[in-house]
Amino acid sequence: MKHTRRFVSIFSVVIALSAATAIHVRASEHKNVSAAQSGRFKILGPLRHRNLAPYLVKGKDVIRSTKFVTLEQALKDEKVLVEETGNVGSLVISSKYTKEHVFIQAGDIVRGGKQDRTLGTDLVVPPGAKRMALQSFCVESGRWQARGAEDIEKFSMSTNQVASRELRIASRYRKSQQDVWENVGGLQEKLARNAGEPVQSPVSSSSLELTLDNKEVKRRAESYLKALLDIVKDRKHIVGFVFAINGQFNTADVYGSEDLFGRLWPKLLRTAAVEAFAELQKEERFRTPSTRAAAAFLAYPEKSQVQRNRVNEWLTVITHEAKDKVIFESLFTKEHALVHISTVRLDEKDRDVPRSEPQQSQQQNQLRDLRQPRRRR
């Protein structure tokens, strides 16, 4: 018995030392990164786990006097109210904050109402805002009534984002509701294939939000989070990240302050992790791009088509469209500084489908009318 206990004790020590060594190796791998310059930003990386390779973006704060709260936190604290309007393409938001501004990122999903929606553009919601217009796309095609005990007139949470490059292109670049629906289905198919089981909810099979909350999807994504969530720990002035999946650059998100990026980082990484799992190809080998290549992906193209869209008095979106990527700059009018820069890879097939700009312009006119107070019945 004594020999058995001694063996178990020694075995436990060996296991503990092995685990500590593994953690040390992983930590050291995350510290030994290369750096490359991209304009005013320094890129650090790559920091790889399986088929997902993030690169951290280091830079100075340009938003200095404004405190931002994320939409996820604001809904959790019941400090904002996101409501239905009866129109699939538009919602309204009101804020109870007296000092804080709410930052909404294009691609955020709001859950509830008559259908789950994704928001089509960045937005800054000022303190005390009343029924400010939100551009939206449906990410749940089979419902237009209450779901269970959820409130049919408002939205309860925003813990997820659209988790594929194709969905970001469909909603923000092409602005096509049909493309959004098709790519929701495509993402669900990929997730089900790699999960080895259905991921659509029996409550609402078309809901992307409920698919992203599937236990197996969350479990598979969690492995990426465990490996990569702490890569920002003990690093100063990190304001964004670039990520590649299967050796191809996908998306970059850079923010006007370290604080705002820190608040969004878990949600951003979880979104990238879900997409990486969906695109996981077990037998395929690929080469992780260099840090210098990540810096080039983040850089502005020499030639691009530039469009400027004033979303409201608080935010203007400037779009730079090049051959291989599109860059969305969100200019915060109050401080005349960029609160968010999003770069998304463009493939040849992304240009084959006509964009829906005329329809969106008409929709924007409709959204302006929603700012007027609603009459009580």
Place 244 in a pLDDT band, splitting at 50, 70 and 90: very high
Please report the DSSP string for 24-59 in residue order: HHHHHHHHS-EEEEETTEEEEE---BTTEEEEEEE-
Domain contains 202: yes
What's the structural domain count of the chain?
1
Cis peptide upstream of residue 127 (ω within 30 degrees of 0)? no
pLDDT (mean) for 147-155:
96
Number of C-beta neighbours around residue 47 at 10 A:
22
Choice between 88 and 282, residue whose per-residue pLDDT is larger: 88
Query: Which is it for strands 68-70 and 101-104: parallel, antiparallel or unpaired?
Result: parallel
- 255 inside domain: yes
Of 56-60, 63-67, 113-117, 372-376, the one with minimum mean pLDDT is: 372-376
Three-state SS for 21-33 is: HHHHHHHHHHHCC
The answer to the question of residue 217 being in a domain is yes
pLDDT at 162 over 80: yes
Percent share of the chain, pLDDT over 70: 85
Whether 136 is covered by a domain: the verdict is no
pLDDT tens digit string along 165-180?
999 999 999 999 999 9
pLDDT at 14 over 60: no
Structure tokens at 25: 């190796």
Can you give the pLDDT at residue 23? 35
Residue 97 lies in a domain: no
Residue 328 lies in a domain: yes
CA distance 147 to 115: 9
Is 206's pLDDT higher than 60?
Answer: yes
User: Residue for token digits 């923000």?
Assistant: 172
Which residues sit opposite 243 in a β-bridge? 54, 251
Structural domain harbouring 208 = 32-67+163-352
CA distances from 221 to 213, 217, 303 (A): 11, 6, 37
- Predicted confidence at residue 27, as pLDDT, reads 37
pLDDT tens figures, 350-369: 986 666 543 333 333 333 33
- For the record, the structure tokens of 168 come out as 């970001």
Query: Which residue has tokens 């304009």?
Result: 39
Banded model confidence at residue 36, pLDDT cuts 50, 70, 90: very high
pLDDT at 351: 80
What confidence tens digit (pLDDT) does each residue in 282-308 have? 888 899 999 999 999 999 999 999 999
Residue among 215, 289, 300, 364 nearest 46 (CA): 289
Assigned domain for 16 exists = no
Q: Are 48 and 241 in contact (CB under 8 A)?
A: no
Sheet arrangement for strand 305-312 = 34-38, 41-45, 52-58, 238-245, 248-255, 337-345, 325-332, 315-321, 305-312
Does the pLDDT at position 18 exceed 60?
A: no
Q: Which whole number is the average pLDDT over 56-61?
A: 98
CB neighbours of residue 181 within 10 Å: 19
Residue 224 lies in a domain: yes
pLDDT for res 283: 81
**CA-based R_g, the chain, Å:** 22
Q: State residue 142's pLDDT score.
A: 84
Please state, in angstroms and rounded to a whole number, the distance separating the CA atoms of residues 350 and 354. Answer: 9
Mean model confidence pLDDT for the chain = 88
